[in-house]
């Protein structure tokens, strides 16, 4: 093989890793790679986002819907720093992503050259691994390591920074070997057989066991193993927002959502169960509320791939380390076939209370302004639980997660741990690129939409048939709710004077409509779903519509407000 440039080697590495699409924004320090990308565009498709943050969120959406590694690319300086929010989001939500940044020539490093930024130093706290390439000969090995680290074990984002001279430098012979292991890096911890037996003993003896599952079930491709586990044990199971969709909504053992805006029963009964089984979740503060009063009466079993998460927030009586796909399968032979009908019935009673006081009022309003829940109900009615839902951050996110029905996994894409406003619009078109055969619906608040509104351009140019629903209450709704409940209705800097969203969408050549009346909502949702290309539907909702149940910050999970 003839000698090739470092820039060409980058593209060849991506091809060897079966990367078919990447999201990015060109600039001076990454231009040699873009020049080679132009030559290989029949093998690697590049989508031009309108902002580098949009590239990372699109890569996240692509990874979450496809199960592959998402790839984002940007230039040095501001291009690189604009990636940081999306990288941080991917790190806390365990999303596999490789980010490639250009850098000034190695002779200029540390000289404050034009568009030089120490992206390695900046990104170190929010990446699983990062590395700066200064020699073209390093490219193959570093890219192989990067993809292996990003997708192995608990996934996460990796950043590779490449100096401009390394991109121009010639390599005599290009060879690429996929990485299968790294000395001193153990992606999946070894499972102690005794932990399986000890966990099974607690499960078999428990009278009121309760499961909370998280995204680890989805990331481990362990959905079928998890369903076998809950069906054999007969244990009621609730989800964190990132675990949502791993088990079909209508499954009889799926009892709903835990956390600040979760369902009444799962939250209250957390403090009544005698055994709490955590599966692929990390006991985030939005799930646990006040740790001093969280499940103190219960024994704790923690199924987890990341040893750093065990005993970090909640002390486990038994920790079962490993990929839950393996550990759930391995524990089955130790488990008794069981059912807990009386205990499950208690969840049903709490649901009835919640339905009367919250759900029915929101879901089946007859007068006043439209509620967020009514919009989600209409989406359910028109998609039959088969679509991918992408949400931004705020009230609409909690309502959408609470009420959307799902029949298959990898259907709920949202910013969980970081809570990034502006996530949904670019993540939605990334998700559509990642799984083009499924309907992708983005539900976004009027505030978050305006943070990445420019990505309508990327949607139009890439012809991604994303359906966008803006729930517009002319407020930063979640902040306003807190101001109403805890700050005596002092609505400081939360009311918004919004633009004409329909006109803006049409300016990007995207079909759009606005709906304000209840009797027209379902027809407009149906029209949006049936439209062949991208479509934006603005729905005007009640200005002061609140999300309940709600656990006030710092309170116990059993201190749930229903109104």
Structure tokens at 219: 């990331």
Q: How far apart are CA 406 and CA 422, in angstroms?
A: 24
Distances (CA, A) of 362 to 207, 390, 471: 35, 21, 15
Q: Within 10 A of 368 (CB to CB), how many other CB atoms are there? A: 9
DSSP per residue, 373-437: HHHHHHHHHHHTT-SEEEE-SSHHHHHHHHH---SSSS-EE---SS--TT-HHHHHHHHHHHSTT
Could you tell me if 62 and 432 are in contact, meaning their C-beta atoms sit under 8 angstroms apart? no
Using CA atoms, how far apart are residues 64 and 522, in angstroms rounded to an integer? 29
Q: Cα(4)–Cα(17) distance, rounded to whole angstroms?
A: 18
Instruction: Evaluate the omega torsion of the peptide bond into residue 549 and state whether it is cis, within 30 degrees of 0.
Output: yes
Among all residues, which ones are annotated catalytic? 52, 114-115, 164, 478
CA dist 546 and 396 (Å) reads: 10
Contact 472, 496 (CB under 8 A): no
d(C-alpha 392, C-alpha 400), whole Å? 10
Q: Which residue has the tokens 């680290």?
A: 149
In 150-248, DSSP assigns E strands to 157-163, 170-171, 209-213, 237-239
Q: Are 265 and 355 a contacting pair, CB within 8 Å?
A: no
Choose among 285, 278, 205: nearest CA to 238. 278
In whole angstroms, give the CA distance from residue 337 to residue 328. Answer: 15
Two structure tokens written together for 271 = 């403090």
d(CA 376, CA 402): 9
Distances (CA, A) of 357 to 57, 169, 354, 375, 376: 37, 68, 5, 19, 18
**Helix residue ranges per DSSP H, 467-553:** 477-486, 501-507, 518-530
N-to-C CA span, the chain:
70
């Amino acid at each position: 093989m003839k000698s090739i440039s470092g820039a060409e080697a980058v593209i060849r590495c991506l091809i060897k890793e079966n990367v078919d699409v990447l999201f990015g924004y060109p600039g001076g320090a990454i231009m040699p790679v873009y020049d080679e990308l132009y030559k290989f565009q029949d093998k690697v498709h590049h989508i031009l986002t309108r902002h580098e943050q949009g590239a990372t969120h699109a890569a996240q959406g692509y990874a979450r819907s496809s199960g592959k590694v998402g790839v984002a690319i940007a230039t040095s300086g501001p291009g690189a720093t604009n990636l940081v929010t999306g990288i941080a989001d991917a790190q806390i939500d365990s999303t596999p992503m490789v980010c490639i940044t250009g850098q000034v020539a190695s002779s200029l490093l540390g000289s404050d050259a034009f568009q030089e930024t120490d992206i390695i130093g900046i990104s170190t706290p929010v990446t699983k691994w990062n590395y700066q390439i200064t020699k073209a000969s390093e490219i193959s090995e570093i890219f192989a390591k990067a993809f292996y680290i990003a997708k192995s074990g608990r996934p996460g984002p990796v950043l590779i920074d490449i100096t401009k001279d390394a991109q121009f430098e010639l390599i005599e012979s290009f060879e690429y070997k996929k990485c299968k292991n790294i000395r001193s890096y153990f992606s999946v911890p070894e499972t102690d057989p005794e932990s399986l037996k000890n966990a099974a003993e607690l499960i078999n003896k428990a009278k009121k066991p309760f499961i909370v599952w998280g995204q680890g079930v989805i990331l481990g491709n362990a959905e079928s193993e998890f369903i076998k586990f809950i069906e054999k044990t007969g244990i009621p199971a609730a989800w964190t927002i990132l675990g949502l969709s791993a088990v079909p909504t209508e499954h009889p053992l799926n009892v709903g959502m835990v956390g600040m805006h979760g369902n009444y029963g799962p939250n209250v009964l957390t403090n009544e169960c005698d055994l709490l089984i955590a599966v692929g979740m990390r006991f985030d503060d939005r799930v646990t509320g006040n740790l001093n009063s969280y499940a103190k009466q219960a024994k704790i079993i923690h199924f987890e791939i990341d040893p750093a998460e065990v005993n970090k927030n909640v002390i486990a009586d038994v920790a079962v380390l490993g990929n839950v796909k393996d550990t759930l399968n391995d524990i089955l032979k130790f488990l008794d076939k069981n059912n807990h009908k009386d205990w499950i019935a208690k969840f049903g009673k709490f649901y009835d209370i919640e339905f009367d006081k919250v759900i029915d009022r929101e879901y089946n309003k007859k007068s006043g302004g439209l509620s967020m829940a009514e919009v989600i109900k209409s989406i359910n009615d028109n998609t039959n639980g088969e679509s991918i839902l992408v949400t931004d951050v705020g009230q609409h996110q909690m309502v959408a997660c609470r009420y959307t029905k799902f029949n298959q996994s990898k259907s709920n894409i949202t910013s969980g741990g970081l809570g990034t406003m502006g996530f949904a619009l670019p993540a939605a078109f990334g998700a559509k690129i990642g799984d083009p055969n499924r309907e992708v619906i983005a539900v976004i608040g009027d505030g978050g939409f305006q943070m990445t509104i420019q990505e309508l351009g990327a949607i139009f140019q890439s012809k991604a048939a994303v359906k966008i629903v803006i729930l517009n209450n002319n407020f930063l709704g979640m902040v306003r709710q807190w101001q109403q409940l805890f700050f005596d209705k002092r609505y400081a800097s939360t009311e918004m004077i919004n633009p004409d969203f329909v006109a803006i969408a049409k300016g990007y050549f995207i079909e759009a409509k606005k709906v304000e009346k209840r009797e027209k909502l379902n027809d407009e949702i149906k029209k949006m779903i049936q439209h062949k290309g991208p479509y934006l539907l603005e729905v005007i909702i009640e200005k002061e519509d609140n999300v309940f149940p709600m656990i006030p910050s710092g309170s116990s999970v059993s201190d749930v407000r229903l109104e």
